[in-house]
């Protein structure tokens, strides 16, 4: 089989016809008007050259790049079997994860998952909710550095250079969709500028869907709130558990030296975890509204350190206290109070709301010209995501707001940017057959 393509194009993209800002570069060689017959072997050779160029670009732009050598996705399912349960545990510890619309998750077919992107927590959160399965994520190349590169590669992510997305990366995304591998893309192209609304979308998600001939796109709304809901059962449990701790500790201290050491370690661990956890959170305040990780992880780390230190000190000093003495009672009551406060903080931890919207069928768009199909699908996806976000945040969706991000493919970030997981796509006209996006 032979394919007719412009002489200086690869996958329908101009080979070197634009400058860094997406405008025509008079010094760059332009695509010739005549066409020539290009064999599939030639296309493969061009792809391999593009892969090499992509990796060279990654390494030049990011010293210490440790991502996949070919710039494509290479999941390690054994690693995922270990990491995914840990990731889910961490997400459930940091947030009260509330999921709606799980019935809208397709069980088969060629699907893209497109979440909103209010914080840097979103990628691991979505990975935790989706659970086991071969899901691929498109990730910013800056994340593939040091020890993080091999880890997120094993989890199914592949890198995109925001400043110069390679043809190999673009084609890889299309190929994944065509072969039916679920692809997770954050279509805003970065963190939302307003946590209660969504940015105009970039066109990459729609491009992958149209040219990968996806069956559907699943819009996903994500929103975070403080937990202001009354939880009487959970709060009652905190008091019952704290009371049981105090009673058990007081009883255990009367059962001999060994029991005193155990109860001393327990009371010390509770007091130390509460004290150092709060100190650590105070020392690492949340400076960026879209990045709660430093504060939350500092609290967890401080709590763990306090638990170990307090437990050791409590065990070593337990023998010096007479059973039933005032000092022993005070220490036990203090431990009970600290335990109750920590459990109450856990009951009222921040809430991560995730809502899976009704899948958008891609079939109706495939009869349109490729560029028009991508544009129409992007606009409709923005409306679906905007409605989901409005339902979660309570801020009405503005149907007159810009839906497609203009420019060169580099999104406008918040004033204080942080490492993100998202994709980037050029904003040039999308290639497609004249009459249909399906092969003729």
Q: Is residue 99 part of a domain?
A: yes
Whether residue 217 is found in the same domain as residue 363: yes
Q: Cα(302)–Cα(225) distance, rounded to whole angstroms? A: 24
Q: Judge whether residue 38 has pLDDT over 70.
A: no
How far from the centroid of its chain's Cα atoms is residue 25's Cα? Answer: 36
Whether residue 280 is found in the same domain as residue 146: no
Q: Is residue 189 part of a domain?
A: yes
Q: Is residue 16 part of a domain?
A: no
If one counts the domains in the chain, the total is 2
Strands 351-356 and 96-100: parallel
Q: Is residue 303 part of a domain?
A: yes
Whether residue 181 is found in the same domain as residue 252: no
Q: Is residue 127 part of a domain?
A: yes
pLDDT, one tens digit per residue, over 178-190 is 999 999 999 998 8
Please tell me whether residue 232 adopts helix, strand or coil conformation: helix
The CB-side HSE value for 307 (13 A sphere, CA atoms) comes to 11
Q: Judge whether residue 17 has pLDDT over 50.
A: no
pLDDT, one tens digit per residue, over 315-336 is 888 866 666 678 888 889 999 9
Q: Report the share of the chain in percent with pLDDT over 90.
A: 57
Whether residue 133 is found in the same domain as residue 276: no
Q: Cα(328)–Cα(318) distance, rounded to whole angstroms? A: 8
pLDDT, one tens digit per residue, over 368-393 is 988 999 999 999 999 999 999 999 99
Structure tokens at 270: 């509770």
Whether residue 221 is found in the same domain as residue 359: yes
pLDDT, one tens digit per residue, over 157-170 is 998 876 666 788 88
- The predicted model scores a pTM of 0.78
Whether residue 95 is found in the same domain as residue 156: yes
Whether residue 253 is found in the same domain as residue 342: yes
Whether residue 223 is found in the same domain as residue 252: no
We report the CATH number of the domain holding residue 150 as 3.40.1130.10
Q: Is residue 197 part of a domain?
A: yes
């Amino acid at each position: 089989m032979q394919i007719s393509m412009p002489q200086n194009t690869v996958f329908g993209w101009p080979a070197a016809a634009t400058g860094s800002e997406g405008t025509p570069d008079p010094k760059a060689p332009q695509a010739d008007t005549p066409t020539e017959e290009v064999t599939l072997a030639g296309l493969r050779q061009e792809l391999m050259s593009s892969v090499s160029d992509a990796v060279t670009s990654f390494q030049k732009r990011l010293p210490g790049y440790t991502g996949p050598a070919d710039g494509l996705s290479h999941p390690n399912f054994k690693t995922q079997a270990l990491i995914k349960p840990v990731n889910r545990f961490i997400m459930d510890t940091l947030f009260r994860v509330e999921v709606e619309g799980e019935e809208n998750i397709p069980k088969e077919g060629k699907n893209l998952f497109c979440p909103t992107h209010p914080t840097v927590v979103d990628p691991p959160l979505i990975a935790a909710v989706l659970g086991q399965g071969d899901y691929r994520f498109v990730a910013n190349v800056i994340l593939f550095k040091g020890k993080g590169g091999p880890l997120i590669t094993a989890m199914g992510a592949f890198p995109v250079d925001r400043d110069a997305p390679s043809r190999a990366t673009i084609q890889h995304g299309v190929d994944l969709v065509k072969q039916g591998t679920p692809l997770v893309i954050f279509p805003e192209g970065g963190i939302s500028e307003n946590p209660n609304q969504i940015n105009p979308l970039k066109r990459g998600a729609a491009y992958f869907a149209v040219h990968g001939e996806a069956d559907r796109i699943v819009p996903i709304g994500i929103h975070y709130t403080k937990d202001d809901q009354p939880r009487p059962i959970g709060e009652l449990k905190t008091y019952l558990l704290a009371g049981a701790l105090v009673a058990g500790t007081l009883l255990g201290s009367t059962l001999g030296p060994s029991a005193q050491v155990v109860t001393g370690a327990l009371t010390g661990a509770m007091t130390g975890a509460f004290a150092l956890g709060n100190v650590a959170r105070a020392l690492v305040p949340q400076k960026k509204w879209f990045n709660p990780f430093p504060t939350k992880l500092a609290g967890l780390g401080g709590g763990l350190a306090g638990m170990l230190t307090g437990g050791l000190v409590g065990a070593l000093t337990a023998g010096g206290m007479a059973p039933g003495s005032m000092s022993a009672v005070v220490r036990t009551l203090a431990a009970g109070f600290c335990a109750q406060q920590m459990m109450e903080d856990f009951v009222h931890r921040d809430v991560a709301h995730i809502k899976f919207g009704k899948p958008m069928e891609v079939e109706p768009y495939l009869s349109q010209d490729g560029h028009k199909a991508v544009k129409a699908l992007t606009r409709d996806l923005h409306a679906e995501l905007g409605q989901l976000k409005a339902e979660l945040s309570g801020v009405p969706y503005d149907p007159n707001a810009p839906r497609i991000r203009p420019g060169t493919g580099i999104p406008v970030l918040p004033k204080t940017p942080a490492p993100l997981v998202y994709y980037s796509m050029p904003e040039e006209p999308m290639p497609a057959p004249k009459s249909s996006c399906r092969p003729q």
